Structure 1
Amino acid sequence: MRIPNIPGFDQQALQKYFKNTGMLMLAKVGSQVIKMIVNSFVLSTYLGTERYGILNYPMALVTFFMAIAALGLDGFVTREIVNHPERKGSFLGTAFWMRMAAGLLTLPLLYMVYLIQDHFKHLDTPVNYVMIVGLVSVVQSVNIIESFFQAKVQGKYVMYVQVFGNIASAVIKLLMVFMQAPLIFFIYALLLDAAILASGYLLAYRSSGNSIGEWKFKPALAVYLLKRSWPLAFSAVLVSIYMKIDQAMITSYLGEAELGIYSTVAQLSESFYFLPVAVVTSVFPAIIYARKTDHARYLKRLQNMYDLMVVISVSVALFMTFASTYIYHIAFRDHPEWWAGAPVLAVHVWAGIFVFLGSASGQYLIAEGYFKLSMLRTGVGAIVNVLLNIYLIPKYGIIGAAYATLVAYAVATFFILFIPKTRAQGVQMLRSLFLISLFQKAFSR
């Protein structure tokens, strides 16, 4: 796979760095295409607004507990295996049992949160639906294997598992639609999706010459991992609140039918979010190298990265804004109850600009070692999102949730403007956002 030439970066070096992450991007592309076609259109049309909302509510709620159950171990275990490959069995085994235990412990918490929400607004979603999906947190403990493949720079195995898992998931859901299956089957399918991925990782791990028989649980290592990974776990919880709280709150204020419409909006809008991760991951090594050798070149590469993020995200936002009405009217031609999602998509998609810039500036924060600041700005975004949703959803409905998301993402991304040591980076992002940097490049030629 070749990537386009990016100004300010050495193409040959980028090609080398992209070799592993390009495979991951392919997996993401396949995943998002399947997700859009099957989930956003086929399932939603078959189930209708209310039942589709009931299907999406458990996952929206469980997402927070999945973040807790992961314990922030994935990235940390990857780093430890890179540094101590001879101890991979101990790291993987310990992390697996830690995630398994955490997943089980989140189930009663999930049950309590459901009961509280149901008390204030009677939910149409049965509690057993939520608890079935809650088991995803337990099953996903196997996914710690992905950390091993990342450490070994073997992204092809991740690609194979994810692409196969998503295709299998799509085929199963299409068969259930063809057989006119009841809603409970699709609830179980969410758990089956996780089981398919877990089985795929186990098979890939074994086929690459490894065995889970080598996995060992080490209590002292568990304490070591927990002490160092808890900030990442806390950050992951904040991210889940930041990204998914709107869907949980829509259910509380407006009900499952409105959530059904909003879910199609979020899926379509967020289907492009793999792009900044793929691009930034590819150019990040080149940025780190420049930081060590040439500070001016380092700043220039950061500016080029921000410019690229703005060009891609604004292009996507403009296209989706003008196409939103056509997308909904064509995809839901005989189901006008879904058409209310079109104007919401036209708003929500602009939040992608700040997701793109946030992903890029997040790498800068990592490069500079500002880990706490990264967590702080996510927390600020989460608080703003919750407060705005409390005010806007009851007053404006699901389009209010879209505006809340847009503002919260913008505040989180540009929060670094209020911190003296990172303000210059905030200014660089503003230069890209308002196309100042791009115009200067154009007129300087």
Structure 2
Amino acid sequence: MRIPTLPGFSPAAFDKYFKNTGWLMLARVGSLFIKMLVTALLLPNYLGAASMGALNYPLIMLFTGICTLGTDALVTRQLLQNPERENELMGSALRLRLIGGLVAIPMIYLTYYFIQNIGQNAPAASFKQLAVMSLICLVQATQIIDSYFQSKAQGKTIMFVQVTANILSAALKLILVLFKAPIDAFIVMLVIDVLLLQIGYIYHYRRQGHSIFNWKYDPKVAKQLLTLGWPLAFSAIFVSLYMKVGQIMLDTMKGNSVSGVYSVVSQHTESWFFVATAISTALFPAIMNFRKNQPELYQKRMINLYDLMVVVSVGIALTITLIAPFLYRTFLKPEFLPGAAALQVNAWAGVFAFLGTASGQFLIAEGLTKISLLRTLLGAIAIILFNLWLIPQYGMVGAAFANVLAQATSTFSLLLFPKTRKQGYLLLRSLFFISLISNLRKKR
């Protein structure tokens, strides 16, 4: 059975990359289902809002960019272009990620003490809990193997690793709930979750005849990755900032119970953002293949990618908006009910996040990593200002509105730069379904 193709993609190419997308999507859907049952439904009802604020304390996420140093997308791209240099690329990226983790940990501690001293309320997580969470910065280093599987379009392998790790994680968390474990046990599980992923990636990597012990550190390769990756690293920091700063500001301004409710809202929203990453990651090799020799087809593929992102994200946002009140009334404690209204607003941030993810692939393909950095910086500044304006008056609903506005600011800031202005216009055309309607008319 042949899968229907999109305009601009040859049937054979689309069939290949759609199947890879399908495996990635299946991996994430399986993971999402398990996560929703355990992390976003069972744990909130067991732990309560205040403890969920500690468990989902987002400070570690703010430093993810430093931990990875922008190596993920870069290594995938480099492996596509130079597969024969696998060991040097992987070994150099591993060393950079370990160094990044060692640099990030003290920065996390300093930021925590800063928030503790300036905030109106104590942070939701204790320092001891934060210290345990910070180990993730080191444990995640070998996850660079994911980039190898992406470069080979092996979404099926990624699916097995992620779903298996999530099933094991869910089982362990269920056992902790049955034995009435304290919050600290679930904090430790955050590190174990990442460790399970690493074990899975290493196992499947070895099954394909590779070994991490063959990796080699090459100073020249490391320097190249660092030179190209530092804007992506800071971009990741700013992305994390405007994804998670609302929760931190709610924590300091409204208390850990409010931030705990909003952390569940964020989980329900961001759990669907994987769709954008899965589609973009799987189709990225197909788009790159035509960048040099067939620029017109390359452009068409980008347009169709934007159209696809809008259709999918609007569908998801509409669904979440309709079911949010029922979901919160039926499956969560009454103390979480105020989060339903925030979720209905926050869901629409996904439309701009999807377009931002897709256009981010364009920036990587064109080597415009500094513009990527600038646009995420604008988004980070925007969300801080919007939160300062909206949280005091509207609480977590204000934080949700701030997130939507900041995502839109970041995504469409491409209109500010001459090199990306055309892409900005294409994003606008896709957002208002102009290019999609035009394509449908041409078919008649």
TM-score (norm 1): 0.91
* Aligned twin of 1:140: 140
Tell me how far apart the structure 1 counterparts of residues 291 and 83 of structure 2 sit (CA, whole Å).
28
In the alignment, residue 93 of structure 2 is paired with which amino acid? A
Q: Structure 1 residues 287, 155: closer, same or farther in 2, change over 3 A? A: closer
* Aligned twin of 1:382: 380
User: How far has the Cα of 1:52 moved from its partner?
Assistant: 1.0
Q: Output one character per residue of 1:190-232: Cα deviation in whole Å (capped at 9) or x when no partner.
A: 0111111122222222222223332344455544433332222
Instruction: Answer whether contact 1:50 1:257 (CA < 8 A) is retained.
Output: yes
In the alignment, residue 26 of structure 2 is paired with which amino acid? L
Asked whether 1:236 is paired with 2:236, we answer yes
Tell me how far apart the structure 2 counterparts of residues 303 and 366 of structure 1 sit (CA, whole Å).
16
Tell me how far apart the structure 2 counterparts of residues 192 and 36 of structure 1 sit (CA, whole Å).
18
Q: Structure 1 residues 296, 211: closer, same or farther in 2, change over 3 A? A: closer
Q: Structure 1 residues 300, 80: closer, same or farther in 2, change over 3 A? A: closer
User: How far has the Cα of 1:155 moved from its partner?
Assistant: 3.5
* Aligned twin of 1:265: 265
User: How far has the Cα of 1:439 moved from its partner?
Assistant: 4.1
Tell me how far apart the structure 1 counterparts of residues 368 and 220 of structure 2 sit (CA, whole Å).
28
Q: Output one character per residue of 1:299-352: Cα deviation in whole Å (capped at 9) or x when no partner.
A: 4444333332222222221221121111111112xx211110111011000111
In the alignment, residue 111 of structure 1 is paired with which amino acid? Y
Tell me how far apart the structure 1 counterparts of residues 404 and 143 of structure 2 sit (CA, whole Å).
31
Tell me how far apart the structure 2 counterparts of residues 350 and 323 of structure 1 sit (CA, whole Å).
14
Q: Structure 1 residues 372, 186: closer, same or farther in 2, change over 3 A? A: same
In the alignment, residue 78 of structure 1 is paired with which amino acid? T
User: How far has the Cα of 1:62 moved from its partner?
Assistant: 0.5
Instruction: Answer whether contact 1:290 1:297 (CA < 8 A) is retained.
Output: yes
* Aligned twin of 1:62: 60
Q: Output one character per residue of 1:89-120: Cα deviation in whole Å (capped at 9) or x when no partner.
A: 34333332332233123222211111111112
Q: Structure 1 residues 305, 78: closer, same or farther in 2, change over 3 A? A: closer
User: How far has the Cα of 1:69 moved from its partner?
Assistant: 1.5
Asked whether 1:371 is paired with 2:398, we answer no
Q: Output one character per residue of 1:279-304: Cα deviation in whole Å (capped at 9) or x when no partner.
A: 33444455455655665555444433
Tell me how far apart the structure 1 counterparts of residues 356 and 399 of structure 2 sit (CA, whole Å).
20
Q: Structure 1 residues 280, 318: closer, same or farther in 2, change over 3 A? A: same
Tell me how far apart the structure 1 counterparts of residues 23 and 123 of structure 2 sit (CA, whole Å).
41
In the alignment, residue 350 of structure 1 is paired with which amino acid? W
- Written as runs of structure 1 = structure 2, the 5 A alignment for 1:123-272 is 123-219=123-219, 221-272=221-272
Q: Structure 1 residues 290, 80: closer, same or farther in 2, change over 3 A? A: closer
Q: Please list every run of 5 or more consecutive structure 2 residues that lacks an aligned counterpart in the other structure.
A: none
- Of 360, 363, 372, which aligns to 1:362? 360
Q: Report how many aligned residue pairs link the two structures.
A: 441
Q: Structure 1 residues 232, 441: closer, same or farther in 2, change over 3 A? A: closer
* Aligned twin of 1:48: 48
Tell me how far apart the structure 2 counterparts of residues 228 and 439 of structure 1 sit (CA, whole Å).
38
Tell me how far apart the structure 1 counterparts of residues 22 and 312 of structure 2 sit (CA, whole Å).
17
Same amino acid, percent of matched pairs: 46
User: How far has the Cα of 1:50 moved from its partner?
Assistant: 0.6
User: How far has the Cα of 1:235 moved from its partner?
Assistant: 2.0
Tell me how far apart the structure 2 counterparts of residues 37 and 203 of structure 1 sit (CA, whole Å).
27
Instruction: Answer whether contact 2:65 2:237 (CA < 8 A) is retained.
Output: yes
Q: Output one character per residue of 1:332-391: Cα deviation in whole Å (capped at 9) or x when no partner.
A: 2xx211110111011000111111222232233344443322222111111101111122
Instruction: Answer whether contact 1:3 1:15 (CA < 8 A) is retained.
Output: yes
User: How far has the Cα of 1:437 moved from its partner?
Assistant: 3.5
Q: Please list every run of 5 or more consecutive structure 1 residues that lacks an aligned counterpart in the other structure.
A: none
Instruction: Answer whether contact 1:14 1:282 (CA < 8 A) is retained.
Output: no
